[in-house]
Structure 1
C-alpha cells in the first residue's frame, strides 16, 4: 500500500512533468500548482490560463491515451456545436502529451468555479440535454468502455487480498459479473437481454457529478469514458427523485423514459465496477474509505443470479 509520502512524491513528479511539457510547448508555467490529486493530478499552469490533467492511477489492462483522445475529440465536437463545455487549450496542440512517464492533456482554465453541491435532482435537465446532444456524436467510441477490459483483471488482483476485499465478497462479485457482463459485450448482446431498449453515445461517468458551474454557465466535462451504452448507465444510483426529474426533462426533449429493469442492471454493474476499483487501492488508499458505503449497500442487496432480477 502506497504511503502518504510516496503519494505526495508521485504528485510532485506529475506536476513537474506537466510543467516541463508545458514549458516545451511554449507556455509559462512558473507559478504552477497542484489543485487536485486523486486518479489524476490536475495542475494549474499559472500564469498561463491552462490546466494540465495527468492520470496517475489507472486500472490494470487499460491505457490513458485512448481515453484521452476520446475526451479531446468529444469536447472539441461539443464546442463546435456551441454546447457549454470545457475545451482543450487553444495554446497547445489538442492531443495527449507524453513526458517523464506520464501522459497528459491540456485544458482551457475555467475561472470562477463554484463549489459543487452534487445535486443530482437539480442537474438532471442538463444530463438529459447532454444525452440529446451526444446521441448525434459521429466519432468512434467503444461499447461500455468504462467497464470493459479491466473488471476480470481487477478481480484476479483482489484474489487473496483479504485486506482489500473479503473472499466471500469477491466470490459473490465474480458470480454476479458472470451473469451481467455479457450484456456489456456488444450492442447485439445487450439487445438480446433488453429487447426494444436502444443504446446511444453517453457520457459514461456520472455526468451530473462532472458538471462544472460558474456564475455564468454550467459546463459539461470529463468525457474520458464516453461510449455507447443505454442512458441508464449514466443514471445509476442517482435516486428516484433524480430519475423522475430526468424523465420530465427527457420528455420535453423527445427522449425516451428510463427503463427500470435496465436501470437496476446498470446499478448492479456499477456496484461491481466499484468492487473492481478496490484493486487500485494499493495505489490510491483513499478508495478503501471512499467505497465503503457503496460496498455496504451492495452487500445488503439480494445477489443477482442467472434468470432472476432482484427487485432491489
Structure 2
C-alpha cells in the first residue's frame, strides 16, 4: 500500500461526532478553538494560530509560540480512549528522545500528557521548520525519496527494540478497526455486500493470526514499532530528519512498518542494517494495510474528500487475495 504523498497513512485515523459533515474550514476553526483554549489554560500565549495540516488530525501551530497542537479530527473514540493511546505515544517518544533518536519531541513548555478540550484529547509538540516538504518534490522523485526514508527507519527500529514499556500487538488492526467496521455495516457507502463480508472475514483472520505470528512465521520477533508507516511520517529539517506521529505505536513485526515501501524501500532498509525481512509476512502485512484502508472508509461521511484519497487503496485491496 502506498499512501498518497503528502498525507498521513490510514493508521493515523484520529474527533467529530458521527453524522456531522464539517468542511475543511469548519474543521480548522474547531481545531484552532480547541487548541487555543487548552493552550491558554496551560499558560501559553497563542497570538496567530494557524492550521499546518488537516487530513486525519488537524495540526495547529500556536504562532508565535514554538508549539504545535495535534487535534483529532476523525474518530469514533472518546476523549478518554484517545488519551490512552496518546499516553503510550508520549511515553515512547520521550524515551526515544532520551536515547538521542531523531524525533519530534513533546513540547517542553507544557506537561507531557494529553489535554482534554471541547470533547477532544490534544497533544502538544515542539514546532520544527520543515525543509523540502514532499508536496514540493516532483512526482518522478517520490519513489527515490521514500526509499531513502525507509532506510532511515532501520536505526529507529534498532532503538525501538530496546524500549522497556508494555505495548499492545498491532492494535491499529485489532481492535483498532472494529469500530470502523461496525460503522460501515450501518453506512457502507460504495462498498458492496461482498466487500463488507470480506472485510469482516479479514478482521476475524487477523484476530486469530496476531497472537500466533511467531508460530505462523517462524523467526519473527515482534518488537516495538512506530506503527504508522514511519517512512512517510518523517520531516526533513535544517538539522536532519525527524520522525513524527507515533500515535499508533505498537508491537509487531518490522514488516508492518515496511508495508507499502516497495522493493527499493526494503533494499534501502536492509542496506542500513535493518532486521531481515520475511517476504511472505511482508505480503500479509501489506494486505492488512489495505484492509485498514477499507475500514477507514467509515470516516468518509465526516470528511467526504477522504473517499477519493482512499480509492486507489480500495482498488488494490479488491485486486489482491483476501487475508485468511
Note whether the superposition's TM-score is higher than 0.5: yes
Q: 1:224 to 1:160 in 2, by over 3 A?
A: closer
Per the alignment, residue 51 of structure 1 pairs with 68
The answer as to whether partners of 1:114 and 1:215 remain within 8 angstroms in 2 is: no
TM-score of the two chains, using structure 1 as the length reference: 0.89
- Name which of structure 1's ranges 124-133 and 169-178 shifts more when overlaid on structure 2: 169-178
Q: CA-to-partner distance for each residue in 1:162-203, whole Å, 9 max, x for gaps?
A: 42412121122222332333122x3xx222222221111111
Aligned pairs (5 A) from 1:135-214: 135-159=161-185, 161-184=187-210, 186=211, 189-214=212-237
Q: 1:56 to 1:162 in 2, by over 3 A?
A: closer
Are residue 79 (structure 1) and residue 97 (structure 2) matched? Answer: yes
Other structure's SS at 1:52 match: strand
Q: 1:59 to 1:262 in 2, by over 3 A?
A: farther
Of 17, 23, 27 in structure 2, the residue corresponding to residue 10 of structure 1 is 27
Are residue 278 (structure 1) and residue 297 (structure 2) matched? Answer: yes
Distance of 2:322 and 2:161 partners within structure 1: 33
Per the alignment, residue 15 of structure 2 pairs with none
Per the alignment, residue 308 of structure 1 pairs with none
Distance of 1:91 and 1:170 partners within structure 2: 46
Distance of 1:66 and 1:203 partners within structure 2: 16
The answer as to whether partners of 2:256 and 2:282 remain within 8 angstroms in 1 is: yes
Q: Which runs of 5+ in 1 are unaligned?
A: 306-312
Distance of 2:188 and 2:106 partners within structure 1: 42
Q: Which runs of 5+ in 2 are unaligned?
A: 1-18
The answer as to whether partners of 1:120 and 1:209 remain within 8 angstroms in 2 is: yes
Q: 1:60 to 1:52 in 2, by over 3 A?
A: closer
Per the alignment, residue 254 of structure 2 pairs with 231
Distance of 1:127 and 1:228 partners within structure 2: 15
Q: CA-to-partner distance for each residue in 1:21-57, whole Å, 9 max, x for gaps?
A: 1112111102111121222111110111111111121
Q: CA-to-partner distance for each residue in 1:51-90, whole Å, 9 max, x for gaps?
A: 1111121245892101211121111111111121111111
The answer as to whether partners of 2:151 and 2:265 remain within 8 angstroms in 1 is: no
The answer as to whether partners of 2:90 and 2:113 remain within 8 angstroms in 1 is: yes
TM-score of the two chains, using structure 2 as the length reference: 0.86
Aligned length: 297
Bigger RCO of structures 1 and 2 (CA < 8 A, at least 6 apart) = 2
Q: CA-to-partner distance for each residue in 1:236-257, whole Å, 9 max, x for gaps?
A: 121111112212222xxxx531
Distance of 2:285 and 2:110 partners within structure 1: 38
RMSD: 1.9
Give 1:275 deviation, angstroms.
0.9
Aligned pairs (5 A) from 1:108-147: 108-116=126-134, 117=137, 119-147=145-173
Per the alignment, residue 309 of structure 1 pairs with none
Other structure's SS at 1:63 match: helix
